[in-house]
Amino acid sequence: MQGLMRGYIRGVDAVNYRVGRVMMYGIFVLMGILLWSSISKTFFLPSLWTLEMAQFVMVGYYILGGPYSLQLGSNVRMDLLYGSWSVRRKAWFDAITVLLLIFYLCVLLYGAVSSTAYSLGHWKDAPFSYLFGVVIGTEDVGRLEQSSSAWRPYMWPIKAMMIVGFLLMILQCLSEFFKDILRLKGAEI
Domain ranges of the chain: 2-184
What are the tens digits of pLDDT across the range 147-172? 888 888 999 899 999 999 999 999 99
Cα 16 from Cα 70, distance rounded (Å): 10
Query: Alpha helices of the chain — where are they, by DSSP H?
Result: 2-23, 26-43, 50-72, 79-82, 87-119, 127-131, 156-184
pLDDT: is 119 or 165 the higher one? 165
Average pLDDT of the segment spanning 100-119 = 92
The amino acid at residue 171 is L
Lowest mean pLDDT among 46-55, 75-84, 95-104, 171-180: 75-84
pLDDT at 24 over 80: yes
